[in-house]
């Protein structure tokens, strides 16, 4: 019987990441710059346009995962960006604020992944303007929370991509030998 618990990011996904990002750290920087709405050069846009369909699919899976019947069992927490919204044990108005921030965050992420298909498309707006009126200030707080979550997630996912790009595969025998060597030191 095959195990039902599988990794959400498959070996095939990791191979695609390795093929494109290993020894190509500049490509990770281009993804970061694209997602943060920085101006990128025509050369950098060409790099993005050169992303294969498999790479784009993998990047979308990593940066903007969606709950799906195709997701492996046990991956729902990492495949549903709504699961981390802090709403427990806080006042109702803060719950609403966090839900609005999450919606804004998800819109930012959807805008960002669209840039993988069209690097000249709509950019993610990370500016936060603080107006004088109270209603505008409440919206600025929501935007700031979404901004923080977005920047943090993009940075974390870039680190994960870099980790996958340089991850080495070991056979069970190689792992056993390495662990024995390490334990004898």
pLDDT digits (tens, 9 = 90+) for 9-61: 888 999 999 999 988 778 999 999 999 999 999 999 999 999 999 999 999 99
Q: For residue 85, give its domain range.
A: 11-167
- 180, 136 in Cβ contact below 8 A? no
Q: What are the backbone angles phi and psi of residue 115, rounded to the nearest 5°?
A: -65, -20
**Looking at the domain assignment, is residue 160 inside a domain?**
yes
**Looking at the domain assignment, is residue 133 inside a domain?**
yes
* Token couple for 171: 């056979």
**Looking at the domain assignment, is residue 87 inside a domain?**
yes
**Looking at the domain assignment, is residue 175 inside a domain?**
no
The reported pLDDT for the residue numbered 168 is: 82
- 157, 13 in Cβ contact below 8 A? no
**Looking at the domain assignment, is residue 181 inside a domain?**
no
Blockwise average pLDDT, block size 10, the chain, 185 residues: 66 92 88 96 96 95 80 60 72 87 93 96 92 90 94 94 87 80 74
**Looking at the domain assignment, is residue 122 inside a domain?**
yes
Residue 69, phi-psi category: left (phi > 0), alpha (psi -120 to 50), beta (remainder): alpha
What's the half-sphere exposure (Cβ side, CA atoms, 13 Å) at 178? 8
The span from the CA of 156 to the CA of 31, in Å, is 13
SS percent in the chain: helix, strand, coil, step 5: 60, 0, 40
The reported pLDDT for the residue numbered 50 is: 94
The reported pLDDT for the residue numbered 167 is: 85
**Looking at the domain assignment, is residue 88 inside a domain?**
yes
**Looking at the domain assignment, is residue 68 inside a domain?**
yes
The reported pLDDT for the residue numbered 80 is: 65
What's the half-sphere exposure (Cβ side, CA atoms, 13 Å) at 61? 22
* Mean pLDDT taken over the chain: 86
The reported pLDDT for the residue numbered 78 is: 57
The reported pLDDT for the residue numbered 76 is: 52
* Token couple for 109: 């992420």
**86 vs 24, 78, 82, 120, 140, CA distance in Å?**
36, 15, 9, 34, 18
Domain count, the chain: 1
Strand partners, 65: none
């Amino acid at each position: 019987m095959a195990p039902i618990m599988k990794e959400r990011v498959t070996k095939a996904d990791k191979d695609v990441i390795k093929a494109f990002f290993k020894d190509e750290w500049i490509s990770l920087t281009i993804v970061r710059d694209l997602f943060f709405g920085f101006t990128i050069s025509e050369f950098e846009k060409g790099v993005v346009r050169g992303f294969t369909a498999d790479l784009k699919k993998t990047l979308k899976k990593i940066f903007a995962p969606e709950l799906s019947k195709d997701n492996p069992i046990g991956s729902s927490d990492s495949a549903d960006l709504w699961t981390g919204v802090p709403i427990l044990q806080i006042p109702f108005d803060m719950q609403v604020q966090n839900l609005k921030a999450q919606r804004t965050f998800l819109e930012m992420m959807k805008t960002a992944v669209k840039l993988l298909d069209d690097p000249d498309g709509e950019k993610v707006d990370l500016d936060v303007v603080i107006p004088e009126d109270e209603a505008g200030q409440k919206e600025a707080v929501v935007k700031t929370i979404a901004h923080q979550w977005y920047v943090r997630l993009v940075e974390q996912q870039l680190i994960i991509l870099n980790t996958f790009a340089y991850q080495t595969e070991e056979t069970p025998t190689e792992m056993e030998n390495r662990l024995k060597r390490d334990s004898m030191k």
